[in-house]
Amino acid sequence: MKCTINRRAQFSASHRYWLSELSAAQNNRRFGPCTNAPGHGHNYVLYVSMTGDLDEYGMVLNLSDVKQVIKQEVTAQLDFSYLNDVWPEFQHTLPTTEYLAKVIWDRLAPHLPLVNIQLFEHPELWSDYSGNHMEAFLTVSTHFSAAHRLASPRLSYEENCEIYGKCARPHGHGHNYHLEVSVKGQIDPRTGMLVDLAALQAAIDEHVVEPFDHTFLNKDIPYFAEVVPTAENIAVHIRDLLQGPIAALGASLHRVKLIESPNNSAEVYASAPLEGTLPTSTPELAAV
């Protein structure tokens, strides 16, 4: 019987975004504060996912052995390092989150039956890599606060209450929504990026966060005048709003996940998800 296991590890390291062929002004326009010397640091959190058959002892792999491999091949070398200098892979390609995830895969793959590498640069930015050449996933998380009422304008108050319960009350109720947007693309062999991160964050802010934040969705967002703003419908609408702007940045929207509360979430894909391409939840976030 096949089973997937996950091992968590962490390391602290610094890096700098700077391309020698660009002027200081060009680097600053492209990478902003990330160009500042001598660099900046992160507490990286790494999840290594492996798959295999259960052995007679009920294990896919001995996790003590897995721990030692990850330490020897990755964390002992990267912890308290300056990433730009520590590995030869970063002499030509910048150590972005997505490229670092790929390089970690390449270094662990000869030793472990990998299915995914997930690397958190911080809790609101992480990358997934599954061994597909230079293709990777990048996820940005953000939030907005909004009120809504679950009620169809075509039904009576009594009918809505029967379907939606307390959520149909006429004055609505609010949530602090947590939003995850995952994009897919090819890692640039020079910049290490699959998409301009600042531009991606700006697109999410422009098309979703700013229009939705501190609104009554039913009344302030025209789409929800006729569509009931369930978490599912909100996620679908956000997907539709973001597909075009993200394509214009040279990437593809992969998934939108909307966490309405610690107990409720919804996620939708831009297309049917491929098995094994990206975990449907993040170990770092338990609100699913």
Of the candidate CATH numbers 3.30.70.1290, 3.60.21.10, 3.30.479.10, 3.40.50.300, the domain formed by 132-288 belongs to 3.30.479.10
pLDDT digits (tens, 9 = 90+) for 2-38: 999 999 999 999 999 999 999 999 999 999 999 999 9
Distance of CA 142 to the CA centre of its chain: 10
pLDDT digits (tens, 9 = 90+) for 204-214: 999 999 999 99
User: Where exactly are the structural domains of the chain?
Assistant: 1-131, 132-288
Q: Which of 42, 111, 124, 167 is catalytic?
A: 167
Q: Which of 98, 180, 260, 267 is catalytic?
A: 260
Q: Which of 122, 173, 214, 226 is catalytic?
A: 214
The answer to whether 34 is a known catalytic residue is no
- The pair of structure tokens assigned to 236 is 């679908």
The answer to whether 214 is a known catalytic residue is yes
The answer to whether 98 is a known catalytic residue is no
Write the class of the CATH domain 1-131.
alpha beta
| Same-fold call for 1-131 versus 132-288 | yes
Pick the closest to residue 13 from 79, 103, 86, 91 (CA basis).
79
pLDDT digits (tens, 9 = 90+) for 81-136: 999 999 999 999 999 999 999 999 999 999 999 999 999 999 999 999 999 999 99
- Give just the sign of the alpha carbon dihedral 279, 178, 140, 271: positive
